[in-house]
Amino acid sequence: MHHGLVWRGQDGRIVGWLRQRLARLLAHEISLFAYHLPLDAHPTLGNNAQLGARLGLVADARFGAQSLGFAGAAVDTSLQDFAARIAGVLGRAPTVVAGDGRPLARVAWCSGGAQGYFEAAIAAGADAFLTGEISEPQAHLARETGVAFLACGHHATERWGAPAVGEHLAARLGIAHRFIEIDNPA
């Protein structure tokens, strides 16, 4: 499971919808191991590394809280070409807030709901920042700083780390793994 079950000050009691979600595991006394940030951060198997690899990006720097953000040389100098590449890889068109139209030399990326990393990406020297979700302030920040912002889907950007870890463990330990993908429009 990608996210921890008890997250950001949530009530940790196993009742209601959370009880429903875990009902089969509880009935059969099966343990559950759920994690989130380590999977984003891992330099080769993590969500950001896997996303970057699919887009042809190689990280040479990290930024933001817990160094979850990745940054590297751009693969497309035009924002349009970069957006088209993303659409092809992710199978969905990103929401693009153009900056000042500068050619892209460096891009930064962080999968999922990392819109709050935009300022750190700008400070790290990115000409464009790619993440999953956008909130209202990022549109203004893009226009005012000239750095383009691309919201490409939380799920769409964050679905390759878990199967990569599964394949890694399967190859190492000879165990079976199964990645269950549940699509999400967000």
Q: Are strands 61-63 and 69-73 parallel, antiparallel or unpaired?
A: antiparallel
- The site for Zn ion, by CB under 5 A, has a size of 2
Minimum gap (Å) between residue 171 Cβ and Zn ion: 25
Q: How far is the CB of 180 from Zn ion (least distance, A)?
A: 16
The CB-side HSE value for 36 (13 A sphere, CA atoms) comes to: 10
In the DSSP assignment, the letter for residue 17 is: H
- Asked if 64 interacts with Zn ion (CB under 5 A), we say no
Q: Which stretch binds Zn ion (CB under 5 A): 21-29, 63-71, 87-95, 155-163?
A: 155-163
Helices (H), the chain: 16-27, 37-41, 47-55, 79-90, 118-123, 136-145, 154-157, 161-173
Copy the structure tokens of residue 84. Answer: 């088209």
Residue type, 62: R
46 binds Zn ion, rule: CB under 5 A: no
From the CB of 161, what's the least distance to Zn ion, in Å? 10
Compute the least distance from the CB of residue 184 to Zn ion, in Å: 10
Q: Return the residues of window 105-124 that contact Zn ion according to CB under 5 A.
A: 112
Binding site for Zn ion (CB under 5 A): 112, 158
